[in-house]
Amino acid sequence: MKSYILFDALINPDRTSSFVASAKELIRFFNIDAISIKGLKADVGNELQGVNAKAFYLRNAYNLALASKEGRDILCIENSSYNSLSITKEALIANETLKNEISKKLETLNLKLSLDVSIFTLEEILRDDIGFSNILGKIKHPFSDFRVALFQGTSTCRAEKYTDTSIAESLLTLLRTDLVHFECAYESDGYEVLDANPLLAKKLAGKAMLDMFDTASDFIIAKDARSFVMFDTHQKDIEKVVGREIGLATLTLPQVLLMGLGVTDQKTLGLNTHTIRATLI
């Protein structure tokens, strides 16, 4: 099995700790060799790319260099950080001038740029390193009684050329979930305009949430930390904006997988940190 650095420096860490807690437990459960290291630059989302592209590339190249120094690939547990790292690596491979400029700046920080580091999603590791049949054999509590809305968001569209976006659906199929089909699955969660226009952000998030709510979803699975922030942390404000009560819990894929594997402790799952509490256990 390969060795990885766990990219746990997520956007809004005070609100997305459940992503990290559940991912670490799932990694422990399957004995995946993924370690946390100090010094990672926290993901800021690819919005920075449009404001200051070189700062965006330098920030992510710094993390690639740290991974190379450890002799490990990077394991991402959500879409935003995966997108940022993948976009940066692609840009540096394509642009020799940019690569040299970033490399020189890293040298002043005693780091060497390396584009040999591979970037993986946790879903890819579960499919390729652990195997679907192995996971299926360990499932104790199927989700066959639940209608689940898998929100991909615009971030998945950005990442689609880098990875297989169907893996999450395959994992949920192992749990026998009733996956709900809804129109806004790939639309904006509103996060990228939250600071500039909070009202618009909540309207966008509200449109997606009402779409999921009106298809009788029991809960949402968010693949991006930003979607989680919008749907969980801001849900009460979103309800005020759209003029309707929603009350949908938002979970991460690792949380749902862990529950299917028999893990029930709220703190271990990270459910104790959610604003909208899940009542699935």
Separation of alpha carbons 269 and 26, rounded Å: 9
pTM of the model: 0.94
If asked whether residues 70 and 175 sit together in one domain, one would say no
The CB density around residue 139, as the number of other CB atoms within 10 Å, is 15
Separation of alpha carbons 172 and 177, rounded Å: 6
CA 139 to the chain's CA centroid:
23
Residue 128 counted as domain residue: no
Residues 204-216: pLDDT tens digits? 999 999 999 999 9
If asked whether residues 232 and 150 sit together in one domain, one would say yes
* Domain extent for 99: 3-122
Q: Which long-range contacts (CB under 8 A, 24 or more apart) does 155-158 make?
A: 155/79, 155/80, 155/83, 155/223, 155/224, 155/226, 155/227, 156/79, 156/186, 156/223, 156/224, 157/186, 158/46, 158/83, 158/87
Structural domain total, the chain = 2
Residue 278 counted as domain residue: no
Residues 54-108: pLDDT tens digits? 999 999 999 999 999 999 999 999 999 999 999 999 999 999 999 999 999 999 9
If asked whether residues 45 and 156 sit together in one domain, one would say no
pLDDT band of 165, cuts 50, 70, 90: confident
Q: Which residues partner with 150 through β-bridges?
A: 221
CATH number at 210 reads: 3.40.50.11810
If asked whether residues 251 and 148 sit together in one domain, one would say yes
